């Protein structure tokens, strides 16, 4: 995959035989702390929302797990893809609104079945690359200080190390009330490129409905 040009530099993706990746740079009209999720977006955080253009795909679930297994990572238990967590949370009625940027990613991930990372571009330090986590690499992924070991797991890396993946994103690059520009990574499988393209297109359309400007695909 050729390097992707971002406003502050480039993002490179190391070759991977099973990965298909969607990248969107989203510029919101204001800091998201001042941009409440509208009712139509919150409604998409429910299973079976009629506005969602996707149907469940059991084969896709296995394909995403296979992508993550390729580097030696085990996508099971607490380490399963984030899209599977969202599906469980929505089924339990515990998938709540967080902010417009995160709700956008969660809605597209929930219905497409593809894990999605939402990164605050003001909090990452170029250069950026997508590559397997190295032995010993890890990061804190929540406010409680819990750590994920990312050895063998495809991750977005910045100058300080890994910071996002299809399982859990790092606290240090997650959105805050001050976030105005995000990088959205849609983690897909080469065997399901049409699904990836549709998910990225829907993400773009929803972001533009929020009044955001979107670059990439």
pLDDT band at 5 (very low <50, low <70, confident <90, very high): low
Phi, psi angle pair for 3, to nearest 5°: -55, 140
Helix (H) or strand (E) holding 26: strand 19-27
Query: How many domains are there within the chain?
Result: 1
Peptide bond connecting 127 to the previous residue in cis, omega within 30 degrees of 0: yes
Farthest-apart Cα atoms in the chain, separation: 44
**Spatial distance between the Cα atoms of 125 and 184, rounded to a whole number of angstroms:** 16
Q: Which of 60, 78, 56, 69 is nearest to 16 (CA)?
A: 69
Q: Do β-strands 181-189 and 19-27 pair in parallel, antiparallel, or remain unpaired?
A: antiparallel
Alpha-helical segments (H) within the chain: 39-43, 58-69, 82-92, 100-112, 193-209
Helix (H) or strand (E) holding 188: strand 181-189
Whether pLDDT at 207 is above 50? yes
Q: Do residues 11 and 187 make contact, with C-beta atoms less than 8 angstroms apart? A: no
Q: Which pLDDT tens digit goes with each residue over 153-191?
A: 999 999 999 999 999 999 999 999 999 999 999 999 999
CATH number, domain of 168, equals 3.50.40.10
**Spatial distance between the Cα atoms of 176 and 163, rounded to a whole number of angstroms:** 15
Query: pTM of the entire structure?
Result: 0.95
Helix (H) or strand (E) holding 6: strand 4-6
Whether pLDDT at 145 is above 90? yes
**Spatial distance between the Cα atoms of 41 and 48, rounded to a whole number of angstroms:** 14
Q: Which pLDDT tens digit goes with each residue over 29-78?
A: 999 999 999 999 999 999 999 999 998 899 999 999 999 999 999 999 99
Whether pLDDT at 1 is above 50? no
pLDDT band at 25 (very low <50, low <70, confident <90, very high): very high
Token pair in block for residue 143 = 């406010």
Structural domain range at position 211: 4-216
**Spatial distance between the Cα atoms of 95 and 14, rounded to a whole number of angstroms:** 33
Q: Which pLDDT tens digit goes with each residue over 70-122?
A: 999 999 999 999 999 999 999 999 999 999 999 999 999 999 999 999 999 99
For 48-99, the DSSP string reads T-TT------HHHHHHHHHHHHTTT----GGGS-HHHHHHHHHHHT------
């Amino acid at each position: 995959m050729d390097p992707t040009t971002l406003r502050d530099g480039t993002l490179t993706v190391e070759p991977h035989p099973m990965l298909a990746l969607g990248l969107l740079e989203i510029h919101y009209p204001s800091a998201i702390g001042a941009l409440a999720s509208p009712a139509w977006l919150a409604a998409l955080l429910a299973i079976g929302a009629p506005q969602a253009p996707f149907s469940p795909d059991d084969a896709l679930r296995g394909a995403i797990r296979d992508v993550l297994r390729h580097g030696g990572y085990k996508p099971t238990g607490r380490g399963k893809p984030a899209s599977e967590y969202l599906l469980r949370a929505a089924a339990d009625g515990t998938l709540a609104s967080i902010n417009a940027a995160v709700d956008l990613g969660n809605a597209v991930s929930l219905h497409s079945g593809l894990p999605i990372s939402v990164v605050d571009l003001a909090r990452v330090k170029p250069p950026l690359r997508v590559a397997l986590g190295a032995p010993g690499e890890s990061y804190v992924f929540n406010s409680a200080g819990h750590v994920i070991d990312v050895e063998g797991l495809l991750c977005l890396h910045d100058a300080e190390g890994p910071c996002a993946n299809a399982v859990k994103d790092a606290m240090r690059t997650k959105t805050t009330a001050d976030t105005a520009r995000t990088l959205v990574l849609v983690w897909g499988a080469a065997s399901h490129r049409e699904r990836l393209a549709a998910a990225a297109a829907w993400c773009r359309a929803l972001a533009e409905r929020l009044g955001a400007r979107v670059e990439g695909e």
